[in-house]
Every structure is written in structure tokens, then in C-alpha cells.
Amino acid sequence: MLPNAVATLYEDCTAYQRRTVARSLRWWQVKSRPPLPAELQLAPTPAETVYTVNKCRLLHYTNSERDDALRKPLLLVPSIINRYYIMDLQPGRSLVAYLLQQGFDVWAVDWGAPGPEDRFDAFDDYVVTYLRRLVQRVRRATGGEPVSLLGYCIGGIFTAIYAALYPHDVANLINLAGPIDFSDDGLLCAWTRPDRFRPQAIVGAYGNMPGWLMNGAFDNAIPGNWLRQELSLWERLDNEARLQDYLGLQYWLRDEVDFPGAAYKKYIQALYQENRLAQGTLEIGGRLVNLANIGAPLLSITATQDHIAPSPSVLILNDLVSSADKETVVIEGGHIGIVAGRNAKENLWPKLAVWLRPRSG
């Protein structure tokens, strides 16, 4: 109940003013008590944990509608600096659920959350130890079939390296916003130039690259981003469905993951500062990574407003591989929006299915 004086003032308000008051109260409620994951229905698609290695899990999604003609399994490889469920965010916003409905045999990597004890995990380990074991488990469970790999963001880097080192394991390769060439003039490349950024100093201070520190950097990459987020929240307060969409994505963004220190150091120095992957001088597990070894069908996907992986950095992969079957797709939107944004189900998801279906038989 409102106090009498406040109630009187409220009665004297116009309808517009009353709506503003109601929305202000709702805004305060949301900000003071953010919803829990269960309330947001995050990662709604049923999955079985098939295998674990260190903090990593191999997930196999339940698919009662699978078309047996689509023999080749599809392994989703997300970034290691965010949680895997961006591809299975909420009901109606799940790339995983869409792919299942299309008849694909969908698996996914959950990299987990590294702790201080993982600070010595090397960049190479993510490819030659973790990802290789997970791919072998998928092949073993599916009759030895080669695997279609879809790598998103840093996962796209890992899958490109993997396909170059172990081409016999890979049936198809999809690079979704994964940067390959780090010589561009993008903001992240500018920030990490060797004359102004020393990853060893961060690793020396924290052990791992803290998730909260990376999130702060990404927030500052877009001027006024925090104000845009608050305005976006305000505009959705009287529409519960849109509000839940907003809160689900915000929860994922703040579900922070640390980058293991040793891996982070090589990631910055070898890729951002020395551009070794695109130049063909990157060594992983004692082997030179030659992207020309990739002969599998390749689809490279980029977003027009991606400030994390600019289009030239992503699409150059098509020029470096030996694949005869290779295509590019350019989609309107940003780095995250193309996967789980409002228009993802019309812009990205069908294009993935149309390209992958005839190559999965």
C-alpha cells in the first residue's frame, strides 16, 4: 500500500506519469534483485555429459527428431572466455534447439570455469589435448564418422588450428566470427600492440586473466555502452517477453570466465602481437600450423558490426585453406547478436542449416 500522501499524488498523475512511475518501480525491482538462471530458463535443451577432461565437458543433446540420413555429427566449439550456453540461451533463442529440429546430431563443448589451479594451462592444450580428446570421443560414439566443427569466436581459432593439424577428423568446418588475421586496425588489435600492452604483467599479477577485467575492456570498447544497456532495459520493462530476452543475455554477459594465464599470454603474443596464425608461423604442440592443410568444406561467417572479429580478419581464412568447397556469409549485426540476437533465427540459423545439410549425409 502507498502512504496516503503518495497515493493522493499518484491519483493526481496523468496516465503517462503513472506508467512512468510503474516502470520506474519495475526498473528498481530488476536492478535490486536480478533473476536467477532457473527463472530465465538458461540452457533449456536437455543434454547428457558424455565425457570430461579437466574442467571441460562434452555434451550430447537429446534429439528425438533426428534424421538418420544426417550421419556426420556436429560439434559446437564456443569461446573459452564466455559460457557455452550462448548457443542454447533460452527457449526460442537456442541455436542448439533449432539445429536439433533440423535433424542434426548436435554435440557441444563446455570449457567450464578455470580457477587459479589452471593458470599453467597452455594455449596448445586447448587444441591438442582437450579438443582432440573431445573430437575423438564424438567419433568413437558415432561409428568413426568425421566431425563437422562449428567454432565461435576463440572457438573458431581453435577449430581452424585443429582442422589444420588433424584434417582427417574434420568433415566440415564452420568459422563463426573467429578472427584469423590480427593485422587489422580494429580496436582490440590497437589495444594489444606490444608497445602498449604486456600480457605477462597481468598474468604475473593475477595468475589468470580475470573475467571481470576482460568484461570491463569489452564494455569500454563501445562508447556509451552502459547507457545503451540501461536504455534497452527501460524500453523493455512493460513487455515481459522482451524483458526476459534482455535479462537472459545480460546474465550470460556477466557470467564471467577467467582466461588461464599461460594460454592468455600465448594468445596475445603469438596471435595479436605477432600474427603467427595467418602468417603460417604458429607452432602448436611442437607442430607448425599450416592452414593450407585444411581441405574440408569451409563456411566463414562474419557480422557487419563486429568490433571483436572484424570481417577481413574472419574471411581471410577462405584464402588460406586448400578447400575446393568454400563459402562466405556476411550478416547484419554484431559479434553476439548474430548468434542469439532477435534476428538470429531468420538471419543466421537457416543459412547454417542450408549449407550444412547436404554436407552431413
Q: Which residues are catalytic?
A: 153, 306, 335
Cα 178 from Cα 301, distance rounded (Å): 8
Cα 324 from Cα 133, distance rounded (Å): 28
Pairing label, strands 56-61, 47-53: antiparallel
Residue 33, judged by CB atoms within 10 A of its CB (0-12, 13-18, 19+), counts as: exposed
Alpha carbon dihedral 221, 347, 150, 277, in 10-degree steps, equals: -40
Cα 62 from Cα 41, distance rounded (Å): 17
Residue 100, judged by CB atoms within 10 A of its CB (0-12, 13-18, 19+), counts as: buried
Neighbours of 182 (CB within 10 A): 23
Cα 15 from Cα 29, distance rounded (Å): 21
Identify the CA nearest to 291 among candidates 160, 159, 174, 170: 160
CA 62 to chain centre: 21
Identify the CA nearest to 177 among candidates 72, 56, 77, 88: 77
Q: From residue 41, how far is each of 92, 180, 233, 333, 344 by CA, in Å?
A: 11, 34, 19, 25, 19
Cα 169 from Cα 163, distance rounded (Å): 7
Residue 298 contacts residue 323 (beta carbons within 8 Å): yes
Cα 113 from Cα 136, distance rounded (Å): 22
